[in-house]
Structure 1
Amino acid sequence: MSVPRWTKTPVLLLLLISLVLPGAAFPAASGDALSKARYDAESAGYIFVPSRDEILAKAKKEGKLRALSGLSTPAIKPMVAAFKKKYPFIDTYVEEIEGTDAYQRFLLELKAGITKWDSNYMPYDNYKAFLPYQMKFDILGMAGTGLLSIPVRMVDPVNRNTVSANTVASVAVYNRKLIAQERVPSKWEDFLKPEFKGRKFMAEIRPSSVAALVPAWGLEATLDYARKLAAQEPAWVRGGTRAITSLQAGEFALALAVQASSIKRLQAKDPAYAVGYNIVEPVPIRVVSRIDSVLRSAGHPYAALLWLEFQASPEAQKILEEYGPFQASILTQGSAIQKETSGKTLSEVDWQHVARMDEYEAKIVEAYGFPTAKQ
């Protein structure tokens, strides 16, 4: 079933307000506004719950939540504890799902109709494949009218039923003992210098961070960069964890781009800070990163709706900051990622770009010269 198009007026109104107040949730709307929002949503085939009391009552009746999450296991425990404190009537279980193989297995379960989860994590670079299996709650409409306390820019403005409450930035990473900070690239083009040719730095086979440069550079310029990057003959690695391990072991001095949250987590465990990072401009920043939604097959959809809302709350954002770490949304005022990137040129992967990330990555892999699966 195709996704219904919005009428122009509601879209423009929500987007204009979100630009003025990028991190703001809305106060409760008037009765007339709620009635219109509900009519518009239901006319387009979406579910719009006109009362917060109704959402709470239905969640209380369900009394249970089973969620698959992109949160790291260290962050899940305090997040669930805080959620259960707020909603003690919901028996909550949340499990981490991580890695391409796990995502593909879960997608097969969705296609077979055998999953028992209520809420799921949707990998940003395979987002479109998961969309048909999500419940058509009008989360954007309910956030825009104040029924759900979710900043509207955290919600997909086209599909309206998915939420991203965290942000991930990619940074250049290096071994402090093997290379001086002043030699570490300050812009991505620096990796193309002759001094870095011939296995002098690591680059991930999966080009998610390079694909995140498309918003700033455009696709063609990014593909040109990818070809030049491959000509540098980097040491190709699979995954940021592998790159970090090699840096720690002193096998390499430098890695092209790793999630900043991974480095922050390592530095918290390593007081010596053997591994450091540089914020390189334009900063590849996935404003839309960990995407969650309520499954169409959910047995406890209203409890799942509250779970999505909770992750956007100030309390949950603090947990993401501490236990993510460094994963609170850039849309959250005062978040660490907002502070560290303030004044810098950003390459923002927003909802418009996240829907095309699989396309970007496939073309970059081809530009690298790797074999690609043909349709």
Structure 2
Amino acid sequence: MMKSSWYSKAKSWLMSGAIAATALAAALSSPVKAQSWDDTVAAAKKEGKVVFYNNLQPNGIEPLLQKFRDKYPEIQTEQIRLGSNPLIERFQTEFNSGRHIADVFITFPDERVTEGMKQGWMAQWTPPELSNFPAGVNQNNMLFTLQYAREAIIWNKGLVKDSEAPKEWADLFDPKWKGKVGMNPPWRSVSIQQIVAFWEDKGFPDAAEKLKANDVRFFEGSGGIIQAVIRGDVRVAELTDLPLNPLLEDGAPIGYVYPKSGTTSSANVAFVAKNAPHPNAARVFLNWLMTKEGQEALQQYGGLSVTRNGIPPLSKLPATSQLSNVVSGEEILTPERQKKIVEHWRTVFGVR
């Protein structure tokens, strides 16, 4: 009887141990459950902040961010706005020095952004809203194209008759516009470097010399350019059309043309920084920019056509598909060509 009791207990302990061991092995071999989107949103609200590095048109940033805060009042926003070139340079410098400030980054890219993807600048993840976009906007689940800009010529309609306004890029070199032409300096903006490359391909390798002879005036960013035209500081200008649609909606006296010889388009891309101080808030913010509400706000306040399927076109500007000979600026501006263009224009204008 004793032996039977002892044997039964031993058998029970062995079976219990085997069950426990099996359960432990199963637990150890099972993959860790991925964080749900609800968990991400909850964590983002606890973080309570997102830092946004951007090149959006200045007047539209705060209304855009307010729309996001209306949706997520628990998440405050802080933004740094610079032109594309200095913005990329700032992020690169901070990353290389181990200073991680930005959560979400949006700008016109150059090869530094492509190289940054390899160096670990960007978090790899899948935004829940990504399925509503064309496949081409997604690069390795790291970099997402949210908007496109195009290059145009604009003029002050109160000072220049539409019939006399420049219609082609070569018209900007006409001596009748001497001292009256404005543009963003190529050493400041990737999109301007791209249109300069396009000019070269169209037979204007000496555009810098021609514009210097015409006393071109440089202004900082698209916002500075278009305000200079409205004020009459210059009468005509080359413009990345970032601020054009919102000002036309407001009745600004601006005429514009996309030359029939062609123009360049620039992709405005966004990513979540891999070392973001507020990684969950960063994902929530970028995903919101990809929602229908966020894309409509980005188009309305950012002034550029967006990439989400089903969003109506800009109210005052033609769709890219309606323009003649639109060339991807990224495809024609190689790193070597970019360096050559910047160095040449700096030399011609004596800027170091």
TM-score, normalised to structure 1, is 0.66
2:38 matches 1:68: no
Could you tell me the percent identity over the aligned residues? 18
Could you tell me which residue of structure 1 aligns to residue 306 of structure 2?
A: 329
Query: In the aligned structure 2, how far is the partner of 1:129 from the partner of 1:97?
Result: 22
Aligned positions of 1:17-166 closer than 5 A: 54-63=36-45, 64=47, 65-70=49-54, 71-72=56-57, 74-84=59-69, 86=71, 91-99=75-83, 101=86, 103-125=88-110, 126-128=112-114, 130-131=116-117, 132-139=119-126, 149-156=132-139, 159-166=140-147
User: What is the aligned residue count?
Assistant: 307
Aligned partner of 1:311 among 281, 289, 292:
289
How far residue 319 of structure 1 moved from its aligned partner, in angstroms, is 0.9
Q: 1:330 to 1:213 in 2, by over 3 A?
A: farther
Note if contact 2:116-2:122 (Cα within 8 Å) is conserved in structure 1: no
Query: In the aligned structure 1, how far is the partner of 2:52 from the partner of 2:70?
Result: 20
How far residue 195 of structure 1 moved from its aligned partner, in angstroms, is 4.1
2:150 is paired with a residue whose SS is strand
Note if contact 1:214-1:222 (Cα within 8 Å) is conserved in structure 2: no
Query: In the aligned structure 2, how far is the partner of 1:358 from the partner of 1:94?
Result: 32
Note if contact 1:80-1:92 (Cα within 8 Å) is conserved in structure 2: no
Query: In the aligned structure 2, how far is the partner of 1:50 from the partner of 1:75?
Result: 39
Note if contact 2:52-2:104 (Cα within 8 Å) is conserved in structure 1: yes
Could you tell me which residue of structure 1 aligns to residue 240 of structure 2?
A: 259
Query: In the aligned structure 2, how far is the partner of 1:151 from the partner of 1:225?
Result: 38
Could you tell me which residue of structure 2 aligns to residue 184 of structure 1?
A: 165
Query: In the aligned structure 2, how far is the partner of 1:98 from the partner of 1:133?
Result: 22
Q: Which amino acid aligns with 1:329?
A: V
How far residue 327 of structure 1 moved from its aligned partner, in angstroms, is 1.6
Query: In the aligned structure 1, how far is the partner of 2:257 from the partner of 2:78?
Result: 34
Aligned partner of 1:237 among 218, 222, 234:
218
Note if contact 1:117-1:295 (Cα within 8 Å) is conserved in structure 2: yes
TM-score, normalised to structure 2, is 0.70
Aligned positions of 1:174-213 closer than 5 A: 174-193=155-174, 195-196=176-177, 198-206=178-186, 208-213=190-195
Unaligned runs of 5+ in 2: 1-31
How far residue 87 of structure 1 moved from its aligned partner, in angstroms, is 5.3
Query: In the aligned structure 2, how far is the partner of 1:285 from the partner of 1:266?
Result: 20
Note if contact 2:272-2:282 (Cα within 8 Å) is conserved in structure 1: yes
How far residue 318 of structure 1 moved from its aligned partner, in angstroms, is 1.4
Query: In the aligned structure 2, how far is the partner of 1:150 from the partner of 1:92?
Result: 27
Note if contact 1:164-1:292 (Cα within 8 Å) is conserved in structure 2: yes
Query: In the aligned structure 1, how far is the partner of 2:182 from the partner of 2:160?
Result: 14
Q: Which amino acid aligns with 2:340?
A: K
Note if contact 1:170-1:259 (Cα within 8 Å) is conserved in structure 2: yes
294-303 or 362-371, larger mean C-alpha shift: 362-371
Alpha-carbon deviations, 1:238-266, whole Å to 9, x = none?
324443343333333211x1132323344
Query: In the aligned structure 2, how far is the partner of 1:320 from the partner of 1:59?
Result: 21
Alpha-carbon deviations, 1:281-340, whole Å to 9, x = none?
313321x12x2211121244344223222212221121123222x223256543218744
Alpha-carbon deviations, 1:6-31, whole Å to 9, x = none?
xxxxxxxxxxxxxxxxxxxxxxxxxx
Larger Rg: 2
2:36 is paired with a residue whose SS is helix
TM-align CA RMSD: 3.7
Alpha-carbon deviations, 1:113-145, whole Å to 9, x = none?
122432223552453464434234154xx77xx
